[in-house]
Amino acid sequence: MSKSLSQRRSPDYVFIFLLTVLVVFGLVMLTSASSDVAKVQYGNSFYYLTHQILFGLLPGLVGFLLGVFLDYKIWQKISLYLLIVGVAFLLMVFTPLGYQAYGADRWLRIAGFGFQPSEFVKLAAILYVASWLSKASVRRQRFREGTLPFFIILIMVVLPIILQPATTTVVLIVSSTLIMYLIAGAKLKSLAFIVIIGVLALALLIAVTPYRFQRVFSFLHPSSDTLGKTYQINQSLIAIGSGGAWGVGYGRSTTKLHYLPEPTGDSVFAVIAEELGFVGSVGFITLFLLFVWRGIKIAKRAPDLFSQLAVVGFVSVIGLQAFVHMGAVSGLLPFTGIPLPFTSYGGTALAVFLTMSGIIVNISRRS
């Protein structure tokens, strides 16, 4: 049970410090990555930074404070409603309220504000799965009462995201919730069943959709079409290689304006590596590792199973997304359009990750 107000401890200041550094560093690097592009496109070097602050940081700070000061048990009680709203938003992107960008139906505009429902669903899905797994041990041990319903829940959440399409987001949600299921005490054969089905489904999607197949082919053959299909990964590798050990210097990237596609989003880590070099990149990666480590430490001290699973889910999805982004940009994974947490341009993602972090801080006060 959660502790009373008098028994609450101080929040985990190390976690808050790491979060603050990641957010500030992200805004600083987004300023550099976007300044030239924003100047050319909008006549304002700070266009992307301004929008990130207005539509990402400020709503994110509200979400963070709600996460910190609302009893985390409230999130458990409303998790089902959040998931229903999230899935409804996902379906609404296929209505006139949704709009297409970068070749995908991932955005929704309501009352003049645009946002990505799939980012919100990351929060809602993790909270609901944490609540669902914490209520009865039978759900974690038996196939019919646990594995099968868990599998159905995942299908209901990820199917609309696949149709957008946003395959990498599906992989992130499934991976983070499977980690939660493992921590909750699921049998390995149950996890194996879901993993096998998931891998087969992913392989089928890759086989029947040309753009997914092309991404895998480009990953395996990066030199096959350097001016076409593999242009972005090759330019990313050139940018990373240009940084050397110490980098070319902050704001001095030569690839971000004319050569590197999506320097504010899909390729932002390439700008970081070019400007700060190998040393700066390692330092940045270390920040994420420390963030995840501190989150896991908070999860170990969490007062109940729901709070433990929620923290594990949050740090898993943030850590995995950072790994996938940096791995794709570095040529270690097939290239995806996944943003780098706390850094890439995208207000919805930043607001959601800050809300997750606020809930983690709340739980650390009760550990």
Query: How many beta carbons lie within 10 A of that of residue 214, not counting itself?
Result: 17
pLDDT at residue 92 is higher than 50: yes
pLDDT of residue 179: 94
pLDDT of residue 1: 39
Tell me the mean pLDDT in the region 88-96: 88
pLDDT of residue 265: 87
Alpha helix (H) residue ranges in 145-208? 148-162, 167-183, 188-208
- Give CA–CA dist 339/173, Å, rounded: 14
pLDDT of residue 66: 97
Q: What does the DSSP assignment read for 279-332? A: HHHHHHHHHHHHHHHHHHHHHHT-SSHHHHHHHHHHHHHHHHHHHHHHHHHTTS
pLDDT of residue 366: 85
Strands across the sheet containing 104-110: 98-101, 104-110, 113-115
Q: For residue range 331-362, what is the model confidence (pLDDT) as tens digits?
A: 898 888 789 999 999 899 999 999 999 999 99
> What Cα–Cα distance (Å) separates residue 101 from each residue in 77, 163, 264?
35, 14, 15
pLDDT at residue 302 is higher than 80: yes
Nearest to 161 by CA among 111, 100, 112, 89: 89
pLDDT at residue 7 is higher than 70: no
Let me know if 220 is exposed, middle or buried by CB neighbors in 10 A (0-12, 13-18, 19+): exposed
Q: For residue range 23-62, what is the model confidence (pLDDT) as tens digits?
A: 999 999 999 999 999 999 999 999 999 999 999 999 999 9
- Per the model's pLDDT, the better-predicted residue between 103 and 13 turns out to be 13
Say if CB 105 and CB 129 are below 8 A apart: no
Tell me the mean pLDDT in the region 215-240: 81
Tell me the mean pLDDT in the region 130-149: 73
Q: What's the pLDDT band for 104 if we cut at 50, 70, 90?
A: low
Q: What are phi and psi of 115, to 5 degrees?
A: -155, 165
Query: How many beta carbons lie within 10 A of that of residue 361, not counting itself?
Result: 22
SS3 367: coil
Q: What's the pLDDT band for 4 if we cut at 50, 70, 90?
A: very low
pLDDT at residue 163 is higher than 80: yes
Say if CB 235 and CB 268 are below 8 A apart: no
Find out whether the peptide bond into 165 is cis, omega within 30 degrees of 0: yes
Say if CB 44 and CB 95 are below 8 A apart: no
Nearest to 93 by CA among 48, 151, 155, 159: 159
Query: How many beta carbons lie within 10 A of that of residue 56, not counting itself?
Result: 25
pLDDT of residue 108: 86
